[in-house]
């Protein structure tokens, strides 16, 4: 019992505990829509695409990793985040190898080592294989590879947090068939990672080696067999649920749908070009808005061909908007920072200088931690949560 006593030795007085705010436990009714997680991750990825500062990129990776550690479940797709980190490190290594063996347009004076150079004909002028390797070109390749690796890790965070089946439910009816193909493709990698981990654990428990070419071959065959079995099961379930059936609609509606969808997509492309590439163009924003409206109208008409209903559709509550908005806020802040101080977001390599962490862009990146506070807490593997 918490309490305190006065100096006169009277009985202790009870003190009310201070309420501590906690996110609710995740249930079927309050689980976040998968689209909210993808919008949050795409916001972080957009921010990563606007900078090559390794300090900001590392901060983005840390934010994504913290949210994944706090809010991922024990589902098979939730275990794929580590694989995306390894892929990101592999991308950085490949980028460095390309810079070493194929050279770089970045001039440098600090020679690290020199490789034998392969003579090339005159028509391949500007391309070299081997030669001297400078610290400037290695640093440039490291920054460039780190940006791409951060993009992949942000996508891996969304893949670990979002339920692919719930993402499929959020698509318009006109995109249902294409969405099924995308979701099946997205679930292949997480299930593949889960199978590899399960088989390696089983081999380790039996005292068999888990590394080397022999172990890879012995693990690969059961993984391939499991993938084929899942493919057959998915095909059977889709056939049982009437996948591919469409309703009959008048020809005029079909033609109108095609015109609106195609014209809207062309308008979106032209409007985006006007906003990003054409200097001083005033048609960009109006054309982009008109294209979006036309495309949405076409998708709405195209949904009439889909003879399906949604069971328990996802609801976008306050928490979902906060999660999606935090990613958008990080992206907007990084875009604004790129226009205000581009040198801080793209540190130079000639001459060699240490990157500096810009304060307010770094503070904006921390907004991406909001899902770790507001998103519902996933249930523990034991089926109950610890009482704190």
Task: Evaluate if residue 388 carries a pLDDT over 50.
Answer: no
> In the numeric block, which tokens belong to residue 345?
């977001």
What pLDDT sits at residue 385? Answer: 36
Over the stretch 179-207, which tens digit does the pLDDT of each residue have? 666 666 666 666 777 778 888 888 888 88
Q: What is the pLDDT of residue 369?
A: 92
Q: Is the pLDDT of residue 330 over 60?
A: yes
- Give the model's pLDDT for residue 19: 46
pLDDT digits 0-9 by tens, 2-45: 554 455 555 555 555 544 445 665 555 567 788 889 899 989 99
Q: Which of 249, 252, 195, 245 is nearest to 219 (CA)?
A: 195
Helices and strands (H and E) in the chain: how many: 13, 4
Tokens 């347009």 identify what position?
Answer: 105
The model's pLDDT over 65-117, given as tens digits with 9 standing for 90+, comes to: 999 998 888 777 777 788 899 999 999 999 999 888 887 777 777 788 887 87
CB 237 within 8 A of CB 183: no
Q: Work out the burial of residue 19: count CB atoms within 10 Å of its CB; fewer than 13 is exposed, 13-18 middle, 19 or more buried.
A: exposed
Tokens describing residue 149: 């690796």
Q: Which parts of 126-250 fold into alpha helices (H)?
A: 135-161, 164-169, 176-205, 213-240
């Amino acid at each position: 019992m918490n309490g305190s006593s006065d100096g006169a030795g009277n009985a202790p007085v009870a003190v009310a505990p201070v309420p501590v705010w906690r996110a609710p436990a995740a249930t079927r009714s309050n689980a976040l829509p998968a689209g909210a997680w993808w919008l949050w991750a795409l916001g972080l990825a957009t921010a990563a695409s606007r900078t090559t500062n390794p300090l900001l990129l590392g901060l983005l990776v840390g934010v994504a990793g913290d949210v994944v550690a706090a809010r991922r479940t024990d589902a098979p797709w939730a275990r794929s985040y580590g694989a995306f980190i390894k892929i990101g490190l592999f991308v950085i290594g490949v980028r460095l190898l390309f810079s070493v063996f194929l050279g770089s347009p970045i001039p440098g004076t600090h020679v690290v080592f020199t490789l034998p150079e392969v003579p090339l004909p005159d028509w391949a002028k500007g391309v070299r294989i081997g030669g001297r390797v400078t610290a400037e070109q290695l640093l440039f390749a490291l920054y460039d590879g780190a940006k791409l690796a951060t993009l992949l890790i942000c996508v891996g965070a969304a893949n670990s947090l979002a339920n692919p089946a719930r993402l499929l439910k959020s698509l318009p009816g006109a995109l249902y068939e294409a969405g099924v193909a995308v979701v099946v493709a997205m679930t292949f990698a997480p299930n593949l990672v889960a199978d590899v981990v399960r088989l390696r654990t089983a081999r380790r428990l039996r005292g068999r080696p888990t590394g080397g070419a022999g172990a890879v071959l012995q693990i690969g065959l059961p993984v391939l067999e499991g993938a084929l079995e899942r493919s057959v099961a998915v095909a059977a379930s889709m056939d049982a649920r009437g996948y591919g059936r469409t309703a009959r609609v008048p020809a005029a509606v079909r033609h109108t749908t095609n015109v609106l969808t195609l014209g809207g997509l062309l308008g979106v492309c032209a409007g985006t070009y006007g906003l990003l590439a054409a200097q001083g163009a005033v048609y960009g924003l109006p054309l982009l808005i008109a294209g979006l409206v036309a495309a949405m109208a076409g998708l709405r008409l195209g949904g009439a061909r889909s003879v399906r209903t949604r069971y328990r559709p996802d609801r976008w509550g306050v928490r979902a908007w906060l999660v999606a908005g935090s990613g958008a806020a990080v992206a907007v802040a990084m875009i604004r920072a790129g226009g205000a101080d581009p040198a801080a977001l793209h540190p130079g390599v000639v001459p060699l200088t240490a990157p500096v962490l810009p304060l307010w862009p770094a503070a904006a990146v921390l907004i991406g931690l909001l899902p770790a506070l507001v998103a519902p807490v996933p249930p523990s593997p034991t089926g109950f949560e610890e009482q704190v």
